Chain A
Amino acid sequence: MPSLGADMESGTLVEWLVQPGAQVNRGDLVAVVETQKGAIDVEIFESGTITEILVEEGEEVPVGTPLAIVNGAHTEVATPQVAAAEPAATPKAAPASSPHRRFGEQRLRISPAARRLALRENVNLRDIHGSGPDAAITLADVELAIKAIKAPVDQKRTDSSAAMSEAIAAAMARSKREIPHYYLGHEIDMNSVMTWLERENTSRSVADRLVYAALLLKAVALAVKQVPEMNGFWTGGNFQPSDNIHVGVAIALRGGGLVAPAIHDTDRSSVEGIMGSLRDLVGRARSGRLRSSEVSDATITVTNLGEQSIEQVFGVIYPPQVALVGFGALVDRPRVENGGIFVRPTVFASLSADHRASVGHRGAQFLAEIDRLLQEPEKL
């Protein structure tokens, strides 16, 4: 059971997306886990053949519990920080099976009455867990599924958002209790960015257009290379810098939740790539289907809260990360340049950083570097 957040203690395995015998490659989705952050698609951490499932659907298990055996080794399901809880089992020969067989492609076992009812009520059979022999779907299973679908959506939403609120409360309380934050603020002239963006977007079709947030994220990722003290984790009384730069993006959910999934290797992604990830993440965050590596991998977080209207945001660091960059609204402000006053689009950038991992001087260099990078948007 992967740790999908600093304060996650256990998770419920909702659905296996693979079965014993399935060939899996690192990064494949293998299971859905219900956590306080909602349902998360779990990715597998190694390639091989699933030889045994150790945790059944519906079971709640503590973080660190092996979920399945891959080629004889316990899976590390996308959890670099969680060591396998038990020594590797004896390697077993992989059972004969069609390679890359997927759960949904198997022949469905279902009683005729159940099939008729499902058809009439327009229930997707793939969503039903069969309780009959050989996991056959029975009439009762379909009736249960229909009941679940028709259950008041508001009730479900309230439950999961209450759990999410608790998780956020725990993480934020821990942050303010343990992390000695310091805060820096800096106004950035966005004229170059907005001029470049306007020109770029004129020649792009609507689906390929960029938003300035993508450039902000790229600038943060590149600035981290100059000031690596901002990127990584405070664990066991030490700062562990991260070799990878996975910028987490804070996304507010309707109903009050908040998630900050990571854009992997943000520094190596093109602005177009970041834009695609951003659209994809926002969409999946809203519909509640994020992947395990996305919710657990962020090495630094960006909040663009100000986009709506407020001018400044001073964020709370998401532990065990050590820095959070906040961007306020894009606002026209008077700027003094060469003795003259000009009206320019500007953004107020802030840094909340962990004083155990960095000093204010380095934080200042970090914000200044973000500013410098944004003056040459074409190079991002």
Chain B
Amino acid sequence: MTIKTTGAADRYPELTRAVVQILDEVVPGLDLDDIDPTADMRYEFDIDSIDFLNLMIGIDERLGVDVPETDYGDITTLDGLVAYLANRGAVGNV
């Protein structure tokens, strides 16, 4: 898994790996070697609202963070999602 970033995905590699693993289960067949964590996840991973909801459910189950719908707007990129989760204390749950 190659992650090119200077953002949160770099600072929290284990959390990032955990998130990408959940993502890979929700949308199988992702090219994990070529992820741009600064890109809009909807286009980068071609996910729709059902996939996104499944991602949130996986995060709740595995990382213990229930992301309220009102925060969805803050997490359009993988970097943003990792930063958000780190902020919510998910690092210790990996």
Contacts and interface: CB of A to CB of B under 8 A. Distances in A.
A213 B57 contact: no
Interface residues of B, number: 20
A379 interface: no
Nearest to A304: B48
A209 B72 CA distance: 13
B29 A255 contact: yes
Most chain A CB neighbours (cut-off 10 Å) among B50, B57, B60, B70? B50
A213 to B, nearest CB: 7
B28 interface: yes
Contact of B53 (A254, A279, A304): A279
Given A198-B69, A202-B69, A307 B53 contact: no
B14 interface: no
A287 interface: yes
A283 B51 CA distance: 8
B56 interface: yes
Nearest to B54: A279
B51 A202 contact: no
Interface in B45-71: 46, 48-51, 53-54, 56-57, 60, 66-70
B66 A205 contact: yes
B49 A206 contact: no
5 contacts: A205-B66, A207-B57, A252-B46, A282-B54, A308-B43
Interface of A: 157, 198, 201-202, 205-207, 209, 211-213, 252, 254-255, 278-279, 282-283, 286-287, 304, 307-309
